[in-house]
Chain A
């Protein structure tokens, strides 16, 4: 199997008033067809920027060095119009807050149809609508043929994220990037969405990049894990080994910071943030 996604020496730099700041520093990883990769780190570790870089959606104040190639095509050298055609088609993305990520002015059906029609020239509205309903059924939205005409505010948080996933899957992408897909949802719904992501991955063979600050979430799904800190990958390993035998002290600290139900009662452990504060960073 050839690698679907290759990220090689990726460095993302922001111009700030204090001078350039590297939010991602020489990051490399590969993702095989249909595989799953978790990227874990605290806020400001550069994991979201990495996902935006893969999608070609970095803000204009950011500049990028290194290679991001999908199926052997280096996206960083392609003109924006070509990347745009792959975006939403070959690779799709879902975001943290499903409510604000959906446009309140349009029905969910229209928004799914739009994603599909953007990449399928000559598709009629009728056909696109059928695809939208099927996509909604695939993510288990009951009564999809009626719900397709509803607006985002008429859905619950978990359902909205299902709509986002349906939208992303409508074009049957090779790669799905999920940036904190469960963070804005409550715990029971989180589990359902993670199950759903697993299921669609099994059924469609889509490769998945799951970005989260939550080790528990990543451990559910990811086969490989990259632990990021301040823009640098401190550890990369298969998930099983990483959780059973973490090599880097930071990974151990992250694992220790997760409270366990079978723990003796004691203080919650944090991560030493003195060092973190020394560097400028954080989500944009």
Chain B
């Protein structure tokens, strides 16, 4: 188990390094000169040169990359003399637009994305997994058809369309929900909660549709397995056949998918956050892209990749407890 963890973590570090390298290379090669952007309207060539020197943009790629890496691990200092700015590890740099440290921007926004992800995850697991199981049990009935049809809709309707429709119906027509606006939890918990209802629903619906289809298909496949026939041949009660022998194998792939989806969402739900005006990591990503705010784009990419990779490792570890065939140290 220890060896498994070590190799898994080493692999994770390797992948992360590649992600950092490629992201950095892409932004280095593709982006317009950030010094010009930072310089603003009253710009002189001398000023641009000075900004370049301060940010180290005049240095070759590998030096800049190493500087960025060391910033991540030990912190870094921008500029020299009295104007020098210390950026403690893990330093993701400063926004070109606002001058705010990227890490601080994350800290302010992560809570929103996490709240969005957790609430939506609870909903979609309830709807998707339970719905998928029920549809499989009641295969061919009206429930199955309705659930499968709804799932097809959920997969096909883009979530921004659903978001707008829902806003129109629930807010404008029925007035059941207030128009979404940013309210801190401490100021008014009720209002805060209501604000999240629609984003949760919309986000969850899309995922629930995928989970419903996956769960239904897996359960039906598992029910056809020979070991389910064996369980029935033993004379087990149908409830036990179902719970012990059908459900556990059927839900294992769902765990994998969930780990990755959830981790991905923590890195921001760009469309949902933008549509509902939630100031989360996803909104920050889309803003930084439209404004070509390189350090923020880099930061978002890295953190999102980090979360997905960590999510994967966690899934792998969880898997070893669910499925004995991948359990480490088990010998034939």
Contact = CB atoms under 8 A, between A and B. Distances in A.
Contact of A84 (B225, B237, B244, B322): B237
B233 A55 contact: yes
B249 A167 contact: no
Contact of B236 (A93, A105, A114): A114
Contact of B325 (A89, A115, A118, A151): A151
Interface in B209-243: 225-227, 229-237, 240
Contacts of A107: 324
A77 interface: no
Given A104-B249, A104-B325, A154 B230 contact: no
B283 interface: no
Looking at chain B's contact residues, the main secondary structure is: helix
B226 A86 contact: no
What is the size category of the interface that chain A forms with chain B?
20 to 34
B230 A95 contact: yes
A57 B226 CA distance: 12
Given A84-B235, A118-B237, A105 B249 contact: yes
B136 to A, nearest CB: 14
Interface residues of B, number: 24
B235 A119 contact: yes
A102 B229 CA distance: 10
Contacts of A57: 229, 232-233
B227 A102 contact: yes
A92 B235 CA distance: 9
B227 A89 contact: no
Interface string A146-159: 00000101110000
B248 interface: yes
Contacts of B235: 84-89, 115, 118-119
A110 B24 CA distance: 53
A103 B230 contact: yes
Interface string A202-225: 000000000000000000000000
B226 A101 contact: yes
A57 B233 CA distance: 7
Interface in B228-266: 229-237, 240, 244-245, 248-249
Given A87-B233, A153-B332, 8 more contacts: A88-B234, A95-B229, A103-B245, A104-B325, A105-B249, A118-B235, A118-B240, A154-B332
**8 closest A-B pairs (Cβ-Cβ)?**
A88-B235, A88-B234, A87-B235, A100-B226, A103-B227, A115-B234, A151-B324, A101-B226
Interface of B: 225-227, 229-237, 240, 244-245, 248-249, 322-325, 330-332
15 contacts: A85-B235, A87-B232, A87-B233, A88-B236, A92-B233, A100-B226, A103-B227, A104-B227, A104-B249, A105-B248, A105-B322, A114-B231, A115-B234, A115-B235, A153-B332
